[in-house]
Chain A
Amino acid sequence: EAGVTQSPTHLIKTRGQQATLRCSPISGHTSVYWYQQALGLGLQFLLWYDEGEERNRGNFPPRFSGRQFPNYSSELNVNALELEDSALYLCASSLGQHNEKLFFGSGTQLSVL
């Protein structure tokens, strides 16, 4: 069974540009979570999607947005990139039930120059 897949693995952008990160959850998982992990830091919650709807978002500006498609894959969009957006962006999926565990993808390393 395939795990959570994220693309691209690495992404290099310049300030002011827009970035799109993609995530495919494990088959059968309806929930997708996005986290930002800056170098040496913890996981900061960005967004949670379940059954195609945005269920919750973390304390990030509106230029961080996303969506979930009917096949439960998800996109994270970051507009007007800033230098401090450079980080590892992790996607995780779960069955969407209470007390479920998260399965993480390998992440997209975003570098903003």
Chain B
Amino acid sequence: GQQVMQIPQYQHVQEGEDFTTYCNSSTTLSNIQWYKQRPGGHPVFLIQLVKSGEVKKQKRLTFQFGEAKKNSSLHITATQTTDVGTYFCAINTGNQFYFGTGTSLTVIP
């Protein structure tokens, strides 16, 4: 089945530092989505990337889709305590949504 590797598994940063999580696939992807799950909450859709090399920004969050459409990254500039949570990438294959293992972000005030 589809495998989606996500690294790192955990990341602790000081407030104000940057943060990046990476999602890698062994196969070419048609699209990739990113979700955020706050502690005690449920995953919430952030964004979808479809085009090769696509870059999208949401305030301090920058999402990239690799040129070969096999990897993606989520970068947060100047983290804030509100960024705490687990970030998941997800792939819709048409038969199901495969979720990466997630990166748990802790922001130290």
A residues with CB within 8 A of B: 33, 35, 42-43, 45, 48, 55-56, 58, 90, 92, 98-107
Contact = CB atoms under 8 A, between A and B. Distances in A.
Contacts of A35: 99
B95 A48 contact: yes
Interface in B41-81: 41-45, 48, 50
B45 A99 contact: no
Given A45-B97, A48-B95, A90 B43 contact: yes
B42 A101 contact: no
Interface centre among B31, B42, B44, B98 (most CB of A within 10 A): B42
A103 B45 contact: yes
Contacts of B42: 90, 104-107
Contacts of B25: none
B24 interface: no
B85 interface: no
A99 B44 contact: no
Contacts of A100: 92
A101 B43 contact: no
Contacts of B41: 106
Given A42-B101, A56-B95, A101 B88 contact: no
Nearest to A45: B96
